Amino acid sequence: MPVRPALLALLTLASFTGAAQAADRADLDDCNAPVPLPAAAARPLAQAYWLDARTLQWPGLALRPGERVRLHHARAAGLRAVAGEPVAGADGAVDLAASAAALPARWRFIGDGPRFAVVPGADVAALLREQLLLVHEAADGRVIAATGVQLPGALDDLYAAAEQVGDLGAHPTRAATGFAVWAPTAQRVLLCRYAGADSPAIAADAMRLDAATGVWRAALPGDLSGQAYRYLVDVVTPTHGRVRNLVTDPYSVALTADSQRSLVADLAAPALKPPGWDAAPRPTRVKAATDQVIYELHVRDFSISDATVRPAWRGKYLAFTEARSNGMQHLKALAKAGLTDVHLLPVFDLASVPERGCKTPTVPDAPPDSALQQAAVMAVADEDCFNWGYDPWHFNTPEGSYATDPLRRVIEFRQMVMALHRAGLRVGMDMVYNHMAAVGQAPKSVLDRLVPGYYHRLDAQGAVERSTCCDNTATEHRMMAKLMIDSAALWVREYRIDSMRFDLMGHQPREAMERLQRRVDAEAGRPVQLLGEGWNFGEVADGARFVQASQLSLNGSGIGSFSDRARDAARGRGEAPGALGWLNGGADGETADLIRVGLAGSLRGFELSTWRGETRRLDRIAYGGNQPAGFASEPSEVVNYVENHDNQTLFDANVLKLPPATSRADRARVQMLGAALVAFSQGVAYFHAGQDILRSKSLDRNSYNSGDWFNRLDWRYRSNHFGTGLPPQQDNAGPGGRDWVLARERLADPAIAPGPKEIAWSRDVFRELLRIRQSTPLLRLGSAAEIGKRVSFPGSGAGQNPALVATRIDGAGLPGFKAVMTLINVAPTAQVLDLPAEAGVRWVLHPVQRTGADARVKREARAVQGRFEVPARSAVVFVRQ
């Protein structure tokens, strides 16, 4: 009997419904599956570039008559291109025509080669969702050569409108919850939802692609706050073909433990705000960038060894709310003295620390030069509770290991900010947008598993660049820049971050950083000071790909760059014991001039009488052989420092460089001369936490993964932890253990480690240096014009005494002192500077130093009839009142 049409339709519908249910079950199973470790796969070459949505270029290709280039594509990613054979596994091929289009400026770094235009009618958006091979073919279609194509040029052109999308991520309201993720190359995206952090999936909702932006969306009824979610993405990868990726949201604002799932959260919800959050006041002491005095601090270092913090809060955000702890008393004293900002090492979600179940090493009681301590630490280094955190996983969520429970990370981070603000300290963050923790199909890769080949900077073969030590991002691409800017804005808006320090900022475009500056200022309703590492290296060096946010390219932007000029001059360039600096025995005319460069704010146009007897602009004085010593246009663009988390602490560097017989008291004095150099320099002042209490890492030159043992701080002021074992072997032993030999000699010397007396003296003198800077606006002038008019260096020029550097600052017409004279003497003996022009002027010791902790300065510093007497290894400030 024939099947009637109505019955046939019913049977067909039933069959389709059954298949859909089966598909739903399979999708739910995939939502619950663990993120797998990827099988090993070689990355095929991707030597060709999409220049825009219709144009490609193949650098290095040479075409002979009769040969052609075609773009083959396959949705299931089964393409095979074997030389001498026709392409196999393709769903089709797109003909290309020779293009006379000019090479866009953004692609100026790629090699020469022919350009091709996609013929009219080809659906480029659809092509970008498939596997693509650009194939050089003989006239009969046989393969001569083939390459993959780098996609960012086409994606940026085709989906330029995505830059304006303002609702990426999950956004709950009472009526509905919207989800949006940018994944223009995905063939399908499902929203996996979970009732809670550890619940099985309750739904796999289909998402809809917006063809104009490449954003996939889903809108579901009701407020889904508290539900967990991930995206199930069918996408073609360059290494594994077509895959189904289960991935968290790069715009996550909350996460489950160990970042396994994103959480729907409204950061404006009362449940995520500490009491009083909305009305809490913020410090207003910084009126200009040069008012900043910054203390760089790691959240865990701050309290993990502080017995005055309750055990459950040690190493956590909440330690900052323990108002009577030793650590908070220390920060409050610094704030009272003049510290304005605490800059936290990375506090966004990072990949290297387990958020639950991290291990604590058992470190043996061993001699000060023993290798046993580092062996115990390093045995669990990748599973312990410590890392600096320069391995971003999710940019927009606080790190969970610093919370008492990862699910409380949002509210506890805000409690920390409130506590620091109450203490009179602004909060800065170390922003790491230049690389990610993982790439490709690695389980902790997020961006590259959503849009393979887009977010990361690729080399000429299509491999991810790693010049920053990790998998570099490409903030020159629209949506990576957008992610960075949106993220920075979120931290300012939702967490009240006051200032930002950018890791390896020179790997980012100046243009993107300037857009970020405008955005965060708008979010805050006030200036948010930006500074960063403007180092010039790697594949972007010397503007190879774009105008960088680097030292020499940021002038005029107002964004600050760390200055290695005075840092290297002060410490010595390099870590070798013989690489002496101005502070530790290497004072000569050239070094002293670089010290003056730093004191003058490293300003390009400032003029200095050099040790050679020449008058030169600072940008005409050489640094490092081929760089100008002066690089900044304004003092806001230079950050002065002699120590930060990188490399050995100043105390440790001086252990290797000062004569071994140097007394404990003199080691403390040299440390404070370094602090004085920063405090007396025009620009932004930047100090490393513990620099004021002679911090040592037992000679560790790279403590990023060295655990709590080598990164401890003692707010009791009893020990600086020098001589607590040989530093970790990997970065410190040297070839054949060579460097450990010297380290053993120094660590075993009982005369080096300071006692409570030296630590307390350093603490007190450091605070006095902060008070001097705070009470003396002439030390932090706001413009290059004012510095050029008011700052001079008596005693500079030919015939100078390089061990004694003096700076005179004229205060005529300004409130406060009529003039200030700072003098830093690095010699182990007293020094004299005769200035006949000052003979008729009455100079007196700065009010802070008249009653200060440095008895030598109070007793021996003199200024009489133009003769300035400066005690051995002392920093002295005279003023005209």
Q: Taking each helix axis from N to C terminus, what angle separates 478-495 and 510-524, rounded to the nearest 10 degrees?
A: 30
Q: How far apart are CA 673 and CA 679, in angstroms?
A: 10
3-class secondary-structure state, position 532? strand
Q: Rounded to the nearest 10 degrees, how much is the dihedral formed by the CA atoms of 513, 514, 518, 519?
A: -30
- Beta strand 426-431 pairing with 499-502: parallel
3-class secondary-structure state, position 322? coil
- Over the stretch 497-542, which tens digit does the pLDDT of each residue have? 999 999 999 999 999 999 999 999 999 999 999 999 999 999 999 9
Q: Record the pTM.
A: 0.96
pLDDT of residue 575: 83
Q: Which residue has the tokens 């081929």?
A: 626
- Over the stretch 418-460, which tens digit does the pLDDT of each residue have? 999 999 999 999 999 999 999 999 999 999 999 999 999 999 9
Q: What is the mean pLDDT of residues 633-638?
A: 98
Q: How far apart are CA 718 and CA 710, in angstroms?
A: 16
Q: Which residue type, as a one-letter code, is found at position 270?
A: P
Instruction: Residue 797: name the closest of 607, 610, 608 by CA.
Output: 610
Distance from CA of residue 739 to its chain's centroid?
A: 29
Evaluate if residue 11 carries a pLDDT over 50: no
- Over the stretch 567-592, which tens digit does the pLDDT of each residue have? 999 999 988 888 999 999 999 999 99
Q: Which residue type, as a one-letter code, is found at position 34?
A: P
Q: Which residue type, as a one-letter code, is found at position 177?
A: T
Instruction: Residue 868: name the closest of 880, 858, 878, 855 by CA.
Output: 878
508 DSSP assignment = S
Evaluate if residue 387 carries a pLDDT over 70: yes
Instruction: Residue 615: name the closest of 798, 778, 417 by CA.
Output: 798
pLDDT of residue 9: 34
Distance from CA of residue 8 to its chain's centroid?
A: 63
| Sequence-ordered list of residues with C-beta below 8 angstroms from that of 13, at least 6 positions apart, any chain | none
Evaluate if residue 18 carries a pLDDT over 60: no
Q: How far apart are CA 61 and CA 134, in angstroms?
A: 11
Contact 664, 751 (CB under 8 A): yes
pLDDT above 70 as % of the chain: 97
3-class secondary-structure state, position 722? coil
Q: How far apart are CA 491 and CA 345, in angstroms?
A: 14
Q: What is the mean pLDDT of residues 540-550?
A: 97
pLDDT of residue 16: 35
Instruction: Residue 483: name the closest of 251, 261, 247 by CA.
Output: 251
3-class secondary-structure state, position 795? coil
Q: How far apart are CA 44 and CA 57, in angstroms?
A: 17
Please give the mean pLDDT across all residues of the chain.
Answer: 95
- Beta strand 867-870 pairing with 831-834: antiparallel
Q: What is the mean pLDDT of residues 861-865?
A: 97
pLDDT band at 389 (very low <50, low <70, confident <90, very high): very high
Evaluate if residue 12 carries a pLDDT over 80: no
pLDDT of residue 23: 61
Instruction: Residue 169: name the closest of 233, 218, 209 by CA.
Output: 218
3-class secondary-structure state, position 359? strand
Please state which of the ranges 7-16, 162-171, 449-458 shows the lowest mean pLDDT: 7-16
Beta strand residue intervals within 592-664, DSSP E: 607-609, 615-617, 622-623, 627-628, 638-640
Contact 429, 416 (CB under 8 A): no
Total residue count of the chain as it appears in this document:
881
Q: How far apart are CA 496 and CA 524, in angstroms?
A: 8
pLDDT of residue 581: 97
Evaluate if residue 17 carries a pLDDT over 70: no
- State the SS3 of 808-824: EEECCCCCCCCEEEEEE
HSE (CB half, 13 Å, CA atoms) of 33? 17
pLDDT band at 230 (very low <50, low <70, confident <90, very high): very high
Which two structure tokens, joined as six digits, stand for 827?
């010699």
Instruction: Residue 786: name the closest of 635, 663, 673, 638 by CA.
Output: 635
597 DSSP assignment = H
Q: Is the dihedral of CA 761, 339, 845, 876 positive or negative?
A: positive
Tell me the DSSP string of 657-693.
Answer: HS-TT--HHHHHHHHHHHHHHHHTSSSEEEEETTGGG
- 728 phi-psi bin (left φ>0, alpha ψ -120 to 50, beta other): beta
- 430 phi-psi bin (left φ>0, alpha ψ -120 to 50, beta other): beta
Instruction: Residue 607: name the closest of 789, 383, 804, 847 by CA.
Output: 789
pLDDT of residue 7: 30
Q: Which residue type, as a one-letter code, is found at position 205?
A: D
Which two structure tokens, joined as six digits, stand for 748?
């075993």
Which two structure tokens, joined as six digits, stand for 552?
């020499």
- Over the stretch 297-317, which tens digit does the pLDDT of each residue have? 999 999 999 999 999 999 999
94: which strand partners?
71
3-class secondary-structure state, position 435? strand
In Å, how far are 299, 713, 714 from 719, measured between CA atoms? 20, 9, 6
548: which strand partners?
509
Q: How far apart are CA 502 and CA 461, in angstroms?
A: 29
- Over the stretch 664-685, which tens digit does the pLDDT of each residue have? 999 999 999 999 999 999 999 9
Q: Which residue has the tokens 């009083």?
A: 276
Contact 511, 557 (CB under 8 A): no
Q: What is the mean pLDDT of residues 331-359?
A: 97
HSE (CB half, 13 Å, CA atoms) of 381? 20
Distance from CA of residue 786 to its chain's centroid?
A: 32
Q: How far apart are CA 618 and CA 625, in angstroms?
A: 14
In Å, how far are 254, 383, 709, 791, 870 from 356, measured between CA atoms? 16, 10, 20, 54, 55
- Over the stretch 704-763, which tens digit does the pLDDT of each residue have? 999 999 999 999 999 999 999 999 999 999 999 999 999 999 999 999 999 999 999 999
Q: How far apart are CA 550 and CA 347, in angstroms?
A: 24
Round to the nearest angstrom and report the end-to-end CA distance of the chain: 114
HSE (CB half, 13 Å, CA atoms) of 560? 28
- Beta strand 426-431 pairing with 392-398: unpaired
Buried/exposed 609-636: b ≥16 CB within 10 Å, e otherwise: bbbeeeebebbebebeeebbbbbbbbbb
Q: How far apart are CA 380 and CA 403, in angstroms?
A: 21
Please state which of the ranges 6-15, 171-180, 337-346, 689-698 shows the lowest mean pLDDT: 6-15
pLDDT of residue 40: 84
Contact 426, 497 (CB under 8 A): no
Q: Which residue type, as a one-letter code, is found at position 242?
A: R
Q: Max alpha carbon distance in the chain (Å)?
A: 124
For the annotated catalytic residues, the residue numbers are 503, 533
Contact 264, 271 (CB under 8 A): no
pLDDT band at 21 (very low <50, low <70, confident <90, very high): low
Evaluate if residue 15 carries a pLDDT over 60: no
- Over the stretch 76-126, which tens digit does the pLDDT of each residue have? 999 999 999 999 999 999 999 999 999 999 999 999 999 999 999 999 999
Contact 208, 256 (CB under 8 A): no
Q: How far apart are CA 353 and CA 335, in angstroms?
A: 31
